[in-house]
Amino acid sequence: MFMMFSSFHLANPANENSIPICSSDDSTLSEYQQLKYKKDATRLALRLLSTEKDYIDINAEVPGDMVSSIYGALVAVHTSESPKAYEVTKTHKLHTFPMPSIDQFFVIYEKTASWCQPLRLGGNTTDNATINQLLKTYDLVIDQHMEWDETHNSFNVRANNSLNMAPVAQLFSTMENVLLVDLLVPDGDGNDIDIKEIEGGWEVNYYVKFDTCITGCKQRHVWTFEVRDGKAEFVKEWGDDLPKWMKKHG
């Protein structure tokens, strides 16, 4: 069987025992915006935790205090009255590049698996007690079950709440008759957010990336903010000049 994972390491790991307290009022955000920033916060927390470990070696449950603090920083920028904050959150609508996986993975398995009958009948469970327990433990759902080829079927596994999916996917990869588990991380590069801890808060960088991003973007334009006590301050704008069409249309 095969597992498909990606590595992503950042400098300056956050100390889980000294995460800055950062809370912001998110009542003006839509439910969709809140969900997007919560996913961003989970992904950013995982990236910080991955400085000394691979994702597969980090717990599935991401530390709640770290996620909440980063979420508060992102909300603070979104709700800031700074024109530059408006550019990154409303004109360009920047969020994290979808790596690492925090909400889904893809499974290909042999049609002869003894546990697949409920799936073949249109259900979202299996006859494998271990798989069913994993679904329950991590609040996962199976969807999009379909034929893959003459001898294999496939399905997606989705998390109702953001998780570090790598160790969960590894557990699925050990199941009998499973051929491949893919974390569905896209190739290439794209717009992103990164974050690092500073004294009393967070530095948040928003990236618009462009120029042959299928193989790795050659150019990037960056906005830097510092967030302390729930308040965002614009620091600088730097990097490559945005193309005119990006400046006009976002």
Distance of CA 240 to the CA centre of its chain: 26
Residue labelled with tokens 């009393």: 200
243 pLDDT above the threshold of 70 = yes
How high does pLDDT run on average in the chain?
91
Inter-CA distances, 113 with 108, 120, 151, 152, 207, Å: 11, 11, 10, 9, 45
70 pLDDT tier (thresholds 50, 70, 90): very high
In contact, 190 and 209? CB cutoff 8 Å: yes
CA distance 218 to 192: 14
246 pLDDT tier (thresholds 50, 70, 90): confident
Burial label for 25, CB within 10 Å (0-12, 13-18, 19+), is exposed
pTM of the model: 0.89
Residue 111 tokens read as 């049609």
CA neighbours closer than 13 Å in the CB half-sphere of residue 86: 3
Tell whether omega for the bond before 167 is within 30 degrees of 0, i.e. cis: no
Closest Cα partner for 38 from 213, 129, 163, 211?
163
Q: Which domains can be identified in the chain, with CATH numbers?
A: 22-96+188-249 (no CATH), 104-182 (3.30.70)
Give the pLDDT confidence of 131-152 residue by residue, as tens digits.
999 999 999 999 999 999 999 9
CA distance 226 to 231: 8
* Farthest CA pair distance, the chain: 59
118 pLDDT above the threshold of 90 = yes
20 pLDDT tier (thresholds 50, 70, 90): confident
Residues in Cβ contact with 50 at an 8 Å cutoff, skipping those fewer than 6 apart:
7, 8, 9, 10, 58, 100
Find the mean pLDDT for residues 76-101: 96
Closest Cα partner for 225 from 74, 91, 25?
74
